[in-house]
Amino acid sequence: MANVKTKKGVIGILTGGGDVPGLNPAIRAVTIRALREGYQVIGIRRGWAGAISILREEKADNSENYQILTEEIVNRAGRTGGTFLHTSRTNPSSIAKSSVPVHLQDKYQNEKNDLTDEVVKNLDFLGIDYIIPIGGDDTLSFGVKLYKKGVRVIAIPKTMDNDVPGTDYCIGFSTCVSRTIEMTNRLRTSAGSHERFLVLEVFGRYAGFTAMLPTMAGAANRCVIPEYKFNMECLTELMVADRNKNPSKYSVVLVSEGAMFEGGEMIFQTATTDAFGHAKLGGIGDVVSAEIKDLSAKYNNGKTINVVNQRLGYLVRGGDPDAIDSIVPMAYGNLALDLILQGIHGRLVVLKNGRYDNLPLDVVTASKKTVNIDRYYNRERLRPNYESFEMRPLFIMTSE
């Protein structure tokens, strides 16, 4: 083994997928509690990429692949955004030939290679008793695969899209919603000054939660989401009507990056895909902006309405976490340690109906979490429904 075990054992932790505010507080929570309970904590760097790259030699330099975590390290980073362990979208079960670590290239020469067994061996080499991946459904789906291989896995859900099945809340979502509201309110002054439409593209590949909640909170007049193919003429007519009702003569729509209009499909920036088979989305906001500008005269007495068009992108995932994304990661980290202290593994820590809990890990791959449009979305008005709020959780929509 590369490291001498402490009295109770060794816990590994990693972050995968997109960065969000709240990752560092989660790492801090796990580490502080684990150290005080007598465990050693190893931070795997760059998500699953670090886990496949470890050199299983006693004197090898693995500083790029993992580090021993201390209270000093995690306290310094714990209140900041992003992840100091870094991240990647690496899928060890599908590694391109060009991405196979140098020391493994003689062994793995296919165009796509499954390095799952190497990850298992590497975790064993480090003496890791439990691994805690923090990520979205892609990162955690590989955690499910490891668990089925006999690795003790406890997962923490993270994604600003809030679309990990089984939990009502994923780390990063609250800050994303807060930032979206803030940015929309900043940009509405320009839209109002020039009497324009304001079109904002927000994250959300398959689920429209990041467009729905800010709209529900009053940041926008309308939102279009991946769960429902919208009619461009309908959107334009509604936006013109909203603008005419507004004394400042502007209206706002939030557009999920995965939204599709009738007769159209998802719009991608590139044809290449990541290790999980996802092409990079982006551009639906540009299409919506151009189309509603062209159609606006039809519903505005022959006069064209110009557009302020902005893709919020990384602006909503950067910076420090808000209060919720400081508190929930702390709780999730301690929930993970509660399970470890009980000898329990193969679980996903969750928030359900305002209560912290845990569920079987394979809930991550058992279904997809999307907006229930029958319950929460008004198809005719292209906006959330405002009804039946009694006994709903903090963020209204759950993982039903």
Catalytic annotation, residues = 161
In contact, 56 and 40? CB cutoff 8 Å: no
In contact, 328 and 313? CB cutoff 8 Å: no
CA distance 188 to 191: 5
Summary count for the chain: helices (H), strands (E):
12, 17
Residue bearing tokens 């992840």:
83
Residue bearing tokens 């994923």:
170
- The pair of three-digit structure tokens given for residue 208, joined into one six-digit string: 């429209």
CA distance 183 to 395: 20
Helix axis angle for 173-194 and 324-341, nearest 10°, is 160
Q: What is the secondary structure of 12-73 as a DSSP string? A: EEEE-SS--TTHHHHHHHHHHHHHHTTEEEEEETTTHHHHHH----TT---TTTEEE--HHH
* Residue partners of 96: CB distance under 8 A and separation at least 6: 111, 112, 113, 275
CA distance 284 to 256: 8
Instruction: Identify residue 222 by its one-letter amino acid code.
Output: R
Q: Where are the beta strands (DSSP E) in 191-325?
A: 197-202, 222-224, 251-256, 268-273, 279-281, 307-311
CA distance 304 to 253: 17
